[in-house]
Amino acid sequence: MKVKFNREQLLNAINIVSKAVSSKTTMPILECILITAFEDHIVLTANDLELAIETSIKEKCQVISQGRTAVEARLFSDIVRKITADADTDITVETDGSIVIISCGSSEFRIQEKDPDQFPALPEINEDQYIVCSQFTLKEIIKDTIFSIAPNDSNKLMTGELFEVQGNKLKAVSLDGHRISIRSVELKQDYGSHKAVIPGKTLSEIQKILPGEAEKEVSIYFDRSHVMFRFDDTVMVSRLIDGEYFRIDSMLSTDYETKVNVNKKDFLEHIERSTILIRETDKKPLILNIKDMEMNLRLNSIVGSLNSNILINKSGKDLMIGFNPKFILDALRVIEDEEVSLYMTNPKAPCFIRDDEGSYIYLILPINFNPAAY
Amino acid sequence: MKVKFNREQLLNAINIVSKAVSSKTTMPILECILITAFEDHIVLTANDLELAIETSIKEKCQVISQGRTAVEARLFSDIVRKITADADTDITVETDGSIVIISCGSSEFRIQEKDPDQFPALPEINEDQYIVCSQFTLKEIIKDTIFSIAPNDSNKLMTGELFEVQGNKLKAVSLDGHRISIRSVELKQDYGSHKAVIPGKTLSEIQKILPGEAEKEVSIYFDRSHVMFRFDDTVMVSRLIDGEYFRIDSMLSTDYETKVNVNKKDFLEHIERSTILIRETDKKPLILNIKDMEMNLRLNSIVGSLNSNILINKSGKDLMIGFNPKFILDALRVIEDEEVSLYMTNPKAPCFIRDDEGSYIYLILPINFNPAAY
C-alpha cells in the first residue's frame, strides 16, 4: 500500500476515528487505526468492539498502490501532527514488509505495522429501520439529556439513553435514580416506531465529532442490537444496551400546587453560589422557600451558610422544598429559554421544570430536610 | 472590621496573595488570607512560611470600621468569584463575633472566622542591599532559566536558582546535573555584589503574578536568609536556600571544534518530531550527525525510528553526537533569536548554545551511544 494524504484532511479523519480507539485493552489491535486504500479513496477505521467508526477521505489524497495496513493510533496521530508544521502539506504512508513508513519533506518515520487481518470487522447493520434528522438537532438532544445518565453501571440501563421514535416524534430520555431528563423533537416525516437504549459513551463521542450544522443531516439506523449513525463521510456503529428501559410515563404528572416563573440566568447564578458551600463529605440540601413575589434560598453546611433572595412570579400555594442544587443546575445550564417554569406539589413530590411546548421535561426529586432548622 | 471592596479589585488581590497560601499543611491558619483594614487602605496577606505575599488595595474600597480578620482562602475566593456576576459591583466584608459576613445585593454568606492573631507575621527584611530592574526583565530571566532546576530535592541547591549581581550585571543560573542555563542582563546602574539562591517555587510564583510591563519596575532586596520583591502594591518575601551554590565557571569553555548555525524554528520542529518516539521506559538519545551543509537527525526506539535532515552552516570538524532531545528543546523554546549557534568539541564534551553578546548560555551534556548502530 502506498498513499498520499493532505495533512489537514488526514488529521481530521484521525480525530474522528480516534473516538473509537480502545485506550485500555488486552487486544493491542484495538489500539490501532486500520487504513484501507481503495482505487479512488482511503478509509480509516477504529473499533473497540463497543463502538466502531469508519471515515472516508475522498479529496486531496492519492492512492499510488491499493492495500491496507494497521498502525498504533496514538503514535500515528502524534507523527502526523508533528511531521510537518505546515497544515497543507502532503504526507506519504507506505508499507514495506512489516514496516510502515510515514514521510514528509526531509523527515521519515518508520514504525512497526500491526497485522491488519486481526482487525475486527464492523458489524453488519440492517438499514431498513431508520430516521433522519439534522446534525444540529441530534447534538442538541444529546447535550440536553446526557448529564443525567448514571456514571457507573450498578444498573447498566441507566448508563445509556432511551431513543424512542413514534411517528414524527423523537424523544431522548435519561435518568439516574434522582432525576429524569426528557427532550423531544419533531422529525420532518413519519418514521414508524423504534426504541433503543444507546450507551452514554457513544452519545458523548458522536456529540464531539458531529460538525452539528443545521442544514446537514444525520441518518440513524436501528438494528436489533446495534445503532448506526451516518453523516458526511463517516459511519459510526455502536452496540445497544440490552433490556427493557424504565417506564417513566407513570412518574410524569402535569398536576401541581405551586408554579414558579423565574429568570433563568438569575436563578442559575443564585444556585451556582450555593454550591460553593458544598463539600464531598457534607452534602446539604438547598432550601427554596417560595412566597408570593420572592424565593428565599438557604444552604447551611459545615463551611458556612448562604442566604439569598430572588424575584419570582408564583401561582398556587407557598412551599418550602429542598434539593441537591447540582441537579437543578444541570438542567438550567442546558435550557435556553430566558424564563423557566417550575411545577411543584409538596416537599416530598418531584419538581418539574418544563416548557409549554413539551420540548423538554426535567424531573428532579426533592431531598428531605428539617423545616425547623431553616 | 467592616469594609467595602470593588469585586474586580478584590479578586485581583486574592489572586496575587493566593500564590502564598499553603495547600497542604497541618496549620489551618496557613490556608487563610489575612485581611487588615487600615484607615484608608486594606491589605491582604498570605504566608506559607516559605513564601509570604502582601498586597494593598487603595482604590475603589471603603473602610467603614478598621480591624482585621482571617478567612479560609479557597472558600473566600470562591465566594467573591460567584457572589455576583457583575465584575464592577461592591462586596461588603464584615466581622460579627467569630463570623465573617460577605454580602452583595440580595446574597449573604456567613463563614467561620479564623483567629487573625495566629497568623504568622512577615519576616523583617533589611532594605539596604537591593537592585532595581524592569518587571519585564525579571519575568524574562526566570522564564529563560526556570526549566533546568531539578524538580525534586535530592540536592536542595538544585531546586533553586542562583541570582548573582556584580556591579551593573545580574546573572541567573540554574542546573540539574545534566545541563546548565545562564541568563545575564545589564542593570541601569551599579548595585555592588550580591548572591542568593532563590527557591524555584518562589520564582515561578512571581513570574505568574508580575504584570511584566517593560516600563514598570521591581525592586529586589537581598537579606541574609530572605529575598524580597516589591512591585506595584505588592510585596513578596521568600526564604533563600542555604549553602554555597555550585562553581560553574570552570565548566564553561569558549573553545570548540565544531560550530553549527541553524534556523531555530526548523531545528525546534525537527527535535520535537523526535520526542514522539521516546517512551518513559526507553529513553534513547537523538543522534546528530553533523556534516558540511546538513545535519542528519536519527532516533531509534522500541516504537520506531526517525530519520530527518536539516540544512545548517558548519565550521570546524564533522561530528556525530547524541543528546536527550528534551534538553535541547527546553533551551530552544525560550531562545528568541531567529538563528542559534551550537558549539561542540567531541561526543563526550558538553554542547554550548550561546549568543555572541553572552546574554544566554545553555550547556547540555551529551549522551554516550554506539556509533556503529547509526
Closest CA to A57 of A21, A112, A16, A18: A16
CB within 8 Å: B307 and A110? yes
Element (H, E) at B203: helix B200-209
Q: Which of A147-161, B124-138, B160-174, B214-228 has the lowest mean pLDDT?
A: A147-161
Q: What is the distance in angstroms between the Cα of A100 and the nearest Cα belonging to chain B?
A: 9
Q: What is the distance in angstroms between the Cα of B109 and the nearest Cα belonging to chain A?
A: 5
The dihedral sign for the CA sequence B124, B129, B134, B140: negative
Asked if the C-beta of B79 comes within 8 angstroms of chain A's C-beta atoms, the answer is: yes
**Furthest-apart CA atoms within chain B: distance in Å:** 79
What's the confidence (pLDDT) of residue B154? Answer: 79
What's the confidence (pLDDT) of residue B280? Answer: 82
Show residues of chain B in contact with A293, CB under 8 Å.
Answer: none
Return the CATH number of B252-373, one of 3.40.50.150, 3.40.50.300, 1.10.3210.10, 3.10.150.10: 3.10.150.10
Pseudo-torsion of CA A152, A154, A160, A161, nearest 10°?
-120
Element (H, E) at B138: helix B135-143
Domain boundaries, chain B: 2-118, 130-249, 252-373
Interface test with B, best of A80, A96, A273, A275 (most B CBs within 10 A): A273
Interface test with B, best of A102, A106, A265, A274 (most B CBs within 10 A): A106
**3-state class percentages of chain B: helix first, strand second, coil last, to nearest 5:** 25, 45, 35
What's the confidence (pLDDT) of residue A282? Answer: 80
Q: What is the distance in angstroms between the Cα of A309 and the nearest Cα belonging to chain B?
A: 5
Side-chain half-sphere CA neighbours of B344 within 13 A? 23
Whose cell is 420572592? That residue is: A294
Asked if the C-beta of A109 comes within 8 angstroms of chain B's C-beta atoms, the answer is: yes
Partner residue opposite B303 with nearest CB, options A75, A83, A304: A75
Which residues on neighbouring strands pair with residue B57, listed in sequence order?
A: B42
pLDDT by position in tens, chain A (length 374) = 999 999 999 999 999 999 999 988 889 999 999 999 999 999 999 999 999 999 999 999 999 999 999 999 999 999 999 999 888 899 999 999 999 999 999 999 999 999 999 999 999 999 999 999 999 999 999 999 999 999 877 799 999 999 999 999 999 999 999 999 999 999 999 999 999 999 999 999 999 999 998 999 999 999 999 999 999 999 999 999 999 999 999 999 899 999 999 999 999 999 999 999 998 888 899 999 999 999 999 999 999 999 999 999 999 999 999 999 999 999 999 999 999 999 999 999 999 999 999 999 999 999 999 988 88
Asked if the C-beta of B78 comes within 8 angstroms of chain A's C-beta atoms, the answer is: yes
| Spatial contact of A45 and A122, defined as CB atoms under 8 Å apart | yes
**Distances in whole angstroms, Cα of residue B142 to Cα of each of A78, B153, B206, B262, B349:** 30, 19, 9, 25, 27
- The 3-state DSSP class for residue B266 equals helix
**What ipTM goes with this model?**
0.90
- Predicted structure pTM score: 0.92
Closest CA to B79 of B27, B5, B21: B5
| CA angle (B279 as vertex; B274, B285 as ends), nearest 5 | 50
Closest CA to A210 of A151, A133, A128: A133
Give me the CATH topology for the region A130-248. Answer: DNA Polymerase III; Chain A, domain 2 (3.10.150)
How far is CA B328 from its chain centroid? 19
Interface test with B, best of A264, A282, A306 (most B CBs within 10 A): A306
Closest CA to A230 of A219, A222, A216: A219
Closest CA to B52 of B69, B29, B68: B29
| Sheet bearing A286-290, strands edge to edge | A319-323, A286-290, A294-301, A304-311, B107-112, B99-104, B90-96, B2-6, B61-65
Q: What is the distance in angstroms between the Cα of B268 and the nearest Cα belonging to chain A?
A: 11
Size of interface A-B (CB pairs under 8 A): 79
| CA angle (A362 as vertex; A357, A368 as ends), nearest 5 | 140
What's the confidence (pLDDT) of residue A283? Answer: 82
Asked if the C-beta of B111 comes within 8 angstroms of chain A's C-beta atoms, the answer is: yes
CB within 8 Å: A307 and B79? no
Give the span between the Cα atoms of B144 and B219, in whole angstroms: 20
Amino acid (one-letter) located at A311: L
Asked if the C-beta of A82 comes within 8 angstroms of chain B's C-beta atoms, the answer is: yes
CB within 8 Å: B110 and A79? no
One fold for B2-118 and B130-249: yes
Partner residue opposite A78 with nearest CB, options B107, B109, B276: B276
Asked if the C-beta of A96 comes within 8 angstroms of chain B's C-beta atoms, the answer is: no
CB within 8 Å: B108 and A303? no
Return the CATH number of B2-118, one of 3.40.50.880, 3.10.150.10, 3.40.190.10, 3.50.50.60: 3.10.150.10
Give the span between the Cα atoms of A147 and B242, in whole angstroms: 53
**Distances in whole angstroms, Cα of residue A137 to Cα of each of A170, A172, A186, B297:** 10, 11, 10, 50
CB within 8 Å: B305 and A270? no
State residue A10 phi and psi, 5-degree precision: -65, -45
Query: Which residues touch B186 (CB under 8 Å, ≥6 apart)?
Result: B168, B169, B170
Asked if the C-beta of B49 comes within 8 angstroms of chain A's C-beta atoms, the answer is: no
- Domain B130-249 in CATH 3.40.50.1820? The answer is no
Show residues of chain B in contact with A308, CB under 8 Å.
Answer: 106-108
Find the residue in A nearest to B297 (Cα): A107
Helices (H) and strands (E) in chain A, counts: 6, 26
